[in-house]
Amino acid sequence: MKNTLDFYKNIYEPLFRKKYTRVSNRGKPALRKFRKYMKDNKIEIKNMIDVGCAWGKTLEYWEKRKVKSYGVDVAKTTVSYCKKKKYKCYLASATNLSMFSDKKFDLYMATDVYEHLRIKDLRNAIEEAKRITKKYLLIRPHPTLDKRGRRNIKKALHLTVWSIDQWQKFFEESGLTIVEEIENNVFLMSIKK
C-alpha cells in the first residue's frame, strides 16, 4: 500500500492553520439528502468513516445520530482539533488506511477529497475505500479547478480535475455501482458483488 501522507500533508497542513476553514460544512446538504434516502430505503448505518474529515463537522453530524464515527485527515492541525473534541481521528492519507480492518465500516465518506488526490493515487484510495467498507460509499468529487488553480495552475489544490462523467466512469471501472446521485456530483455507491 502506497503511503502518500507526507506529500499531501505538505500541501494541505498550511491551509488548515487558517481559522476561516473551520466555518463551512459543505457536505451538510448531501448528508440531509442521504439521511432521507436512508429512511426511505430502510438503510441502517451503525458506523462510518469520514476520509478528509477536516474539522470534524461530519463526525459531529453522525455522532449526534448515535452512529459510531471515525475520521482521518492529512493535517495534524485538524486531527488534533478533532481529538480534543473526543472524536476518533487519525493522521492518514486516503491511500493508506491500514489502521482499519477489512469491511469495518457501513459507510465510507469522502466529501471534496478525491479531487485533491493525484491521478496516480486515486486507484490506491478507491481500493482502500472498498477494502474497509462493507455497505456504502458516499463520495463527492469536485469537477473543476479550485480558485487558486484558476489564478495559477502551479498553486492548484485540485490535483485531479475531471468531469462528472469521468468520475462516474472511474468509480464504475473501480468495481463500484452507483446506487443514487444524492445531489449534484454526490454519489452513493456500493461495491459490485
pLDDT tens, N- to C-terminus, the chain (193 residues): 457 999 999 888 888 876 545 555 666 777 888 888 889 999 899 999 999 999 999 999 999 999 999 999 999 999 999 999 999 999 999 999 999 999 999 999 999 899 999 999 999 999 999 999 999 999 999 888 877 766 777 778 888 989 999 999 999 999 999 999 888 889 999 998 7
pLDDT at residue 11 in the model? 86
User: Rg (Cα) of the chain, in Å, rounded?
Assistant: 16
pLDDT at residue 93 in the model? 96
127 occurs within a structural domain:
yes
41 occurs within a structural domain:
no
pLDDT at residue 31 in the model? 83
141 occurs within a structural domain:
yes
Give me the residues paired with residue 145 across strands: none
Statement: the pTM of the whole predicted model exceeds 0.85: yes
Q: Which amino acid is at 29?
A: P
pLDDT at residue 1 in the model? 44
pLDDT at residue 113 in the model? 94
40 occurs within a structural domain:
no
Spatial CB neighbours of 144, under 8 Å, sequence gap ≥ 6: 158, 161
pLDDT at residue 26 in the model? 61
How many separate domains does the chain show?
A: 1
Domain of 151 in residue numbering reads as 5-17+27-34+46-191
What's the CATH code of the domain at 102? 3.40.50.150
Q: Which of 59, 132, 69, 135 is nearest to 97 (CA)?
A: 132
39 occurs within a structural domain:
no
167 occurs within a structural domain:
yes
* Alpha helices in the chain, H assignment, sequence order: 5-12, 28-40, 57-64, 76-84, 119-132, 147-151, 164-173
183 occurs within a structural domain:
yes
